[in-house]
Structure 1
C-alpha cells in the first residue's frame, strides 16, 4: 500500500502537474493534488505483529514536576549576588562592544544599582546617565588642569617681576600675609564658638523619598556649598542636619563626598526632628509657598530650610510639611524688592544661606538679595522700600484728609477753655 502511494505521488508530480500547468485552472488542480498527496503519511508495514515496539505511557504530572524542579535549580544557581554581578558586567561589556553609551569605569556600587534594575530599559538609562556624568567629569578635570597651568604661568611671571622689583625697591615686612593654615584655624575657631553660642540654622533632611537619585545628589552638592559658605563667614550659623537617617541615602552620599573629613565637621547631625530639639514657638519654616512675607531677620528665631531640590515641580511639599507640624512659615519678599520676570521663586540651598548670612550681619535686604540669580529678575525697584523718603511718601499717601465738620457745643467749650488757659 505504501509503495503504491509513493509511486502515485511520484507520477503525479512528474506527469500530471505539467499537463494541467498551462491550462486556466492549473493552479486549482495543483493545489488539490498537493493537499491530497501531502496529507497521506507513509505507513510502516510490519509483517510480524510481534516486532511492533511497545509504546511507553508518559505520566504528565511527573513530567511537569521534573521540569519545574529543573527550572528552580537553574534559578537558584543564578540568584547568588556574585553570579548576578558577573552577568551584569558581561552584559555591560557586550554593550561596549556594540558601541553603545557605556562609561569606561563603573564602581561596585553603581554595578549593584544596575543589577537591581527591573528592566533592560532602566539599565540602559542608568548606563547612559553614568556615561554622561563621566564625560562631564572628564571635561571639568581638563578645564581645571588648564586653569592650573594658566595660574602657574601667571605666578611665574609675577615672581619674575617681583625679583626685578626687589632689586630696585625695599620690601615691606611690617604686615605679613596670612597663610591658609592660619585662615583655617580662624574659621574653625569661629565655627566652634557658633556651635556653643551661635544662632542655629536647621536643614530638614526628611525629603529623600520625594526626589530621584539625580536630584538627591544635586541636593548634597548644594549642602556642601552651604557648609563651606557658612564656615568662611564672619559670624556663622550653628548648622543642624535634622531627620538624617543612619545608613540612609543622604548620609551615604555625604560620607561619600566628605570621606574622612565628615567626623571633623563643626556641625550637628541627628536623627531627631527639629520639633523634638527646639521649642515649637521659636521655629520658622522658610518656604516659597508660604502666604506670610518675611519683613525682618529675627535673631531670636530658628529658621528651617528644606533640603529639597524640586526639578519635577511638586507644589507645596515643604509648606505642607510645615502645616502638618503646626509651624510658622515665611517666604522672602522677592516681589517687594525685585522686578520678577520668569521662573519659580524656589532658590537653591547655597543662595538661601548666603541671603540669611547677609541679613544676619547687615540687615540690608538689597545687599542680601543680590545673591538671587539675575536670569530670574530684571533688577531692583527704583525706590528702596527701606529708605526714609519712600516711607514718608507712603505715609503721606495713606493720610486721609477728613472733611470739615461742624463742632458740637461741648467741643466748642473745650476749645474755648484751652484758648483761655
Structure 2
C-alpha cells in the first residue's frame, strides 16, 4: 500500500535536507517504535519522484543516485536565483529613479549601489528628490570640469605645436638642487611623528553624529580631512585626536571613503574613548562660540577641544551643554574685540578653527590668526592701540575719562565765566 503526498517546493527541500542527516538513517534502521511510521514507502509528486530504498519493506527498489543529484542541483539553483529583500528593494529604487528621469525630474544619469542605499535610508519623498537633484548637479559639474580640462589640454597642445623648436646648445647649470615633492612629504610626516610624540594635543570631539543629517556628516568629514591637511603642512603641527569616534558610525565610514585606502597611514590618533578619559580635566578647554569666557591668550600647556559639528540649522548650545555636563572649562575666540562683525552667528568651520590655532601657536598674533575668518562675515579689523591690547582696563577707564571731558563746556566759556565773576 503506497501513500501519495503532494507537498509544496519548500517542504520538499526541507525534507530532502533532513534526509541527509546520518542520525536519521540510524534511527530508522534500528526500527524504533517511535519512528516506525517513517518506514512507509512514499510516492512523491509527479514532478519529483523519489524512492527511498532504506525505508522500503522490500529490497527490489533501489535509490536512484543520478536523480538524487539532479534534484539537489535544481534546489540549489532555485535558492540562488531567488533575490533577497535588499536586492529587490534596490531594484525598485532604481526603477523609481528611472521613472523620475522619464518624468523630466533632475536625477543623475548613473547612480551607484551605495548612493541607492543612501536614497533608501531617506524617509520622505521630498528628501529623496533633493538628494537626487544634488547628485545630478554634482554629476553635471564633474562633466563640465572634465570637458574644460580636455579643451584646455587641446588648446595647450595646439599652442605648443605652433611654437618654433628651440635648440639649446649650452647645458643648464644651477647651484641649487631640485627639491622633490616626495622629499617634502617626508619632511611633513617627520614633523607629524615628532608632534605625536612631543607636540601639543588638539582634540576633535566626535559625539555629535546623532545631531547631524547625512549631508552634514559628509561635510564634517570633508572639513576634518582639510584640517588634517593644514595641520600636516604646518611648521609646528598639533597631535590631532579624534575622540569618541564610533568605528561603526557614519562619520568614520565617510573618513575611510575620503582617504580611499590610506586611512590607516594617517598620522593622528582616532579612539572610541572620550577626551576626559584620555587627558586630565584641568588641562581641557572646550572652544565654543556660546561660551561666556573669552580666550585672551593661547596657552601651550592646555588641550583645546573643537566640537566636530556642522550645524546648518543653528542648534545653539550643544557644545556648551556638553562641556558643562562634563564640568570642563570653556572659551570663545575674541571676535568682537578684534573684528567689526557684520551679521550672523559666530560659528567657524573646522578647517578655519585649526588654521587660527596653528597661527596662534606659531606667532601669537591675534590679528594674523583672525585673518583666516572669511571677510564676508565682518567689515574689517577694529583699530586698536598697542597699549589698549596690553592694558584693556586702563584703556577702558581712559575712554570714559575722555568721554566725560567732551561732554563738558568748552574751555573758552568756562574761563570766561570765571573772569567775569572776578571783575
Same fold, judged at TM 0.5 (above): yes
Q: Mapping of 1:203-352 within 5 angstroms?
A: 203-352=204-353
Q: Check whether the contact 1:203–1:239 (CA below 8 A) recurs between aligned residues.
A: yes
Question: Does the alignment pair 1:184 with 2:189?
Answer: no
> What corresponds to 1:108 in structure 2?
113
Distance in 2 between the 1:275 and 1:184 partners?
A: 33
1:95 maps to which residue? 100
The Cα offsets for residues 361-403 of structure 1, whole Å up to 9 and x where unpaired, read as 011111111101111111112224xx247647963774899xx
Q: Residue deviations 1:327-352, cap 9 Å, x none?
A: 10000011111111112110111111
Instruction: Kindly report which structure 2 residues correspond to 1:8-407, keeping only aligned pairs within 5 A, or say none.
Output: 80-142=85-147, 171-384=172-385, 387-388=386-387, 391=390, 395=394, 398=397
Distance of 1:355 and 1:380 partners within structure 2 = 15
Structure 1: give runs of 5+ residues left out of the alignment: 1-76, 402-421
The structure-2 alpha-carbon separation of the partners of 1:219 and 1:389, relative to structure 1 and needing over 3 Å to count, comes to closer
Cα distance change on mapping 1:321 and 1:176 into 2, 3 Å: same
CA distance in 2, matches of 1:142, 1:116: 33
Encode CA deviations 1:295-328: one digit per residue, 9 max, x unaligned: 1110000000011111101111111111111110
**Aligned mates of 1:340, 1:148 — CA distance in 2:** 44
* Partners of 2:217 and 2:310 within 8 A in 1: yes
Partner of 2:411: none
RMSD: 3.0
Q: 1:149 to 1:90 in 2, by over 3 A?
A: same
Structure-1 separation of matches of 2:97 and 2:389: 66
Contact 1:284 1:301 in 2 (8 A): yes
Determine helix, strand or coil for the equivalent of 1:260: coil
Is the 1:78–1:84 Cα contact (8 Å) retained in structure 2? no
Deviations 1:2-58 (A, max 9, x none): xxxxxxxxxxxxxxxxxxxxxxxxxxxxxxxxxxxxxxxxxxxxxxxxxxxxxxxxx
Alpha carbons of 1:285 and 1:80: their partners in 2 closer, same or farther (altered >3 Å)? same
Deviation of 1:235 after TM superposition, in Å, equals: 0.6
- Offset of 1:109 from its aligned partner? 1.4
Equivalent position SS for 2:301 = coil
Query: Per the alignment, in what secondary structure is the counterpart of residue 260 of structure 2?
Result: helix
Partner of 1:43: none
**For 1:105 and 1:221, how far apart are their aligned partners in 2?**
23
CA distances 1:104-144 after superposition (whole Å, capped 9, x unpaired): 11111111232344454443333223222323333444556
Deviations 1:39-90 (A, max 9, x none): xxxxxxxxxxxxxxxxxxxxxxxxxxxxxxxxxxxxxx99812221112222
Q: Residues of 2 paired with 1:119 and 1:318: CA distance?
A: 29
When residues 112 and 266 of structure 1 are mapped into structure 2, their CA distance, relative to the original with a 3 A threshold, is: same
What is the Cα deviation at residue 183 of structure 1? 0.3
Point out the structure with max Rg over C-alpha: 1
